[in-house]
């Protein structure tokens, strides 16, 4: 067969209906597999949402924090599995690859890569224990790896933390070696109120007691009436009275800000001013006169 006949046969094959019918069938199969995969993922996500909505009436009770974490994790794992199966179906049923040989080769290659992917394995194992031990959950305010923020997502390999200034930090789970979780137990607001020495301690505590008694009604995140501990320290121009208050988890900083605001307004109305540093200077004659008056009890 000469070159002209080969070119003619190739042209007939390219322009003939058989090739385009085969290509069309292949494209149609790929589209159907993709659509089926998307439908399965969406249906599975809806089923997961419905399943967790019934947690309150079911025998198994979990916290809302853990619920949000498990929901996102299950949805992601299901999506990975479905998409992987869809890719295998496209390769095997549409493109005609020998998937068995590919998987065997991938297994050998994966074993070789695994020796160099120790960090990846460490991240996955750490992610498993983070979820299993419930170290933190989606929505918790935590401090991890020197970063503080709200947990947006927990995966098997990475954790996403959104800081209060808006930065989204993606941390490998293997780097989460120490966790500070501010959302598990009630917080404690600690406020030191500076009072000038010209004011009486009892009068200041009375004014503080009057205002802190009204705080639980104004702020629902303050649990119980704040407590006055007493005089915390003595400074150059003032003494400090410490006030503590229990708050809902993660609201201890909001509690401190609002307690300061309320106390400042109340103390100002009571005539107790904010102390300022001051220096009193005496001449030699004045100092001697003051000492003599003190000796006479004047």
Q: What does the pLDDT read at residue 280?
A: 65
Most confident option among 52-56, 90-94, 136-140, 243-247: 243-247
Q: Is 39 exposed, middle or buried (0-12, 13-18, 19+ CB in 10 A)?
A: exposed
Based on C-alpha coordinates, what's the Rg of the chain?
Answer: 35
In order of their start, the domains of the chain are: 3-116 (1.10.287.1260), 123-181 (2.30.30.60), 187-269 (3.30.70.100)
Query: H or E segment at 228?
Result: strand 222-234
What confidence category does residue 278 fall into, taking pLDDT thresholds of 50, 70 and 90? low
Other beta carbons within 10 angstroms of residue 106's beta carbon come to 12
Residue 151: closest CA among 132, 128, 135:
135
Residues 231 and 223: their CA atoms lie apart, in Å, by 23
What confidence category does residue 111 fall into, taking pLDDT thresholds of 50, 70 and 90? low
* Cα distance between the two ends of the chain: 132
Q: What does the pLDDT read at residue 80?
A: 80
Residue 170: closest CA among 193, 194, 189, 154:
154
Q: What does the pLDDT read at residue 102?
A: 59
Question: Packing angle between helix 201-212 and helix 252-269, nearest 10 degrees?
Answer: 120
Residues 2 and 6: their CA atoms lie apart, in Å, by 6
What confidence category does residue 292 fall into, taking pLDDT thresholds of 50, 70 and 90? low
Cβ 208 vs Cβ 193: under 8 Å: yes
* Tens digit of each residue's pLDDT (9 = 90 or more) over 40-79: 888 888 888 777 776 555 555 566 666 777 777 778 778 8
Provide CB contacts within 8 A for 156, sequence distance 6+: 73, 77, 123, 124, 127, 128, 173
Q: Which residue has the higher pLDDT, 255 or 124?
A: 255
Average pLDDT of the segment spanning 229-250: 87
Average pLDDT of the segment spanning 81-97: 77
Q: Tell me the average pLDDT of the chain.
A: 78
3-state secondary structure of 295: helix
What is the residue whose two structure tokens read 């619920």? 67
Percent of the chain with pLDDT over 70: 72
Q: What does the pLDDT read at residue 289?
A: 65
Residue 240: closest CA among 219, 265, 267:
267
Q: What does the pLDDT read at residue 138?
A: 84
* Tens digit of each residue's pLDDT (9 = 90 or more) over 199-238: 888 888 888 888 888 898 889 899 888 998 888 888 877 8
Q: Which two tokens stand for residue 221?
A: 């995140």
What is the residue whose two structure tokens read 């933390």? 161
Q: Does the pLDDT of residue 163 top 80, yes or no?
A: yes
Residues 194 and 268: their CA atoms lie apart, in Å, by 12
3-state secondary structure of 227: strand
* Tens digit of each residue's pLDDT (9 = 90 or more) over 141-154: 899 888 889 988 88
What confidence category does residue 1 fall into, taking pLDDT thresholds of 50, 70 and 90? low
Other beta carbons within 10 angstroms of residue 279's beta carbon come to 6
């Amino acid at each position: 067969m000469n070159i002209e006949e080969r070119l003619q046969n190739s042209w007939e094959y390219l322009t003939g209906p058989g090739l385009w019918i085969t290509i069309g069938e292949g494209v149609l199969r790929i589209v159907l597999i993709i659509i089926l995969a998307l439908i399965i993922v969406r249906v599975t996500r809806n089923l997961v949402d419905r399943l967790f909505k019934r947690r309150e009436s079911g025998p198994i009770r979990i916290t809302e924090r853990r619920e949000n974490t498990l929901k996102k994790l299950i949805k992601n794992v299901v999506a990975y599995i479905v998409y992987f199966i869809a890719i295998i179906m496209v390769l095997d049923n549409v493109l005609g690859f020998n998937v068995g040989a590919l998987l065997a080769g991938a297994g050998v290659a994966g074993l070789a890569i695994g020796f160099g992917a120790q960090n990846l394995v460490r991240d996955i194992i750490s992610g498993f224990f983070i979820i299993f031990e419930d170290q933190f959950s989606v929505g918790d305010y935590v401090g991890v790896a020197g970063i503080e923020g709200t947990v947006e997502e927990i995966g098997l390999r990475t954790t996403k933390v959104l800081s209060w200034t808006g930065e989204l930090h993606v941390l490998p789970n293997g780097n989460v070696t120490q966790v500070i979780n501010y959302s598990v137990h009630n917080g404690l607001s600690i406020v030191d109120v500076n009072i000038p020495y010209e004011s009486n301690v009892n009068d200041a505590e009375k004014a503080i007691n009057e205002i802190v008694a009204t705080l639980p009604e104004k702020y629902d995140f303050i649990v119980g009436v704040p407590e006055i501990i007493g005089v915390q320290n003595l400074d150059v121009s003032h003494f400090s009275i410490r006030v503590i208050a229990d708050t809902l988890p993660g609201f201890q900083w909001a509690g401190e800000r609002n307690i300061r605001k309320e106390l400042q307004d109340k103390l100002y109305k009571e005539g107790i001013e904010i102390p300022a540093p001051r220096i009193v200077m005496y001449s030699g004659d004045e100092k001697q006169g003051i000492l003599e008056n003190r000796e006479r009890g004047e």
